[in-house]
């Protein structure tokens, strides 16, 4: 009696529609895992920035040192055109201006 019940339940679980659903869910989870690992690798990369300091005050020096600690600074100066060109050559992410 118990064997027949187990056999019936296994047959229901292993129907074509159930197997297709389980396979589709496995593929979805594989795809999501790949996307998350790719975005994690991207987020751990250090961004390249250029800093234009037009203030030249002690506070702007502190801001620049904090940005240098968290990112790769390809230019730090007061000339916007030079900063923009060096940032484009390096493939940087942002041009930060401290007015």
pLDDT tens column, 13-27: 888 888 899 999 999
Please say whether the structural domain 46-98 has been given the CATH code 1.10.260.40.
no
Rounded CA separation 35/29 (Å): 10
Q: What tokens appear for 51 in the block?
A: 């800093």
pLDDT tens column, 37-71: 877 777 777 889 999 999 989 999 999 999 999 89
Count of residues making up the chain: 99
Every domain of the chain and the residues it spans: 2-43, 46-98
Q: What tokens appear for 60 in the block?
A: 């702007």
Rounded CA separation 78/98 (Å): 9
Decide if 50 contacts 95 (C-beta within 8 A).
yes
State in Å, rounded, how far the first CA of the chain is from the last one.
Answer: 83
């Amino acid at each position: 009696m118990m064997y027949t019940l187990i056999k019936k339940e296994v047959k229901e679980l292993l129907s074509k529609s159930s197997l297709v659903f389980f396979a589709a869910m496995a593929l979805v989870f594989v795809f999501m895992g790949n996307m998350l690992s790719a975005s994690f690798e991207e987020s751990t990369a250090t961004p390249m920035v250029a800093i234009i300091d037009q203030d030249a005050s002690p506070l702007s020096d502190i801001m620049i040192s904090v940005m240098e600690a968290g990112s790769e600074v390809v230019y730090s100066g007061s000339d916007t055109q030079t900063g923009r060109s060096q940032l484009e050559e390096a493939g940087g992410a942002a041009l930060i201006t401290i007015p």
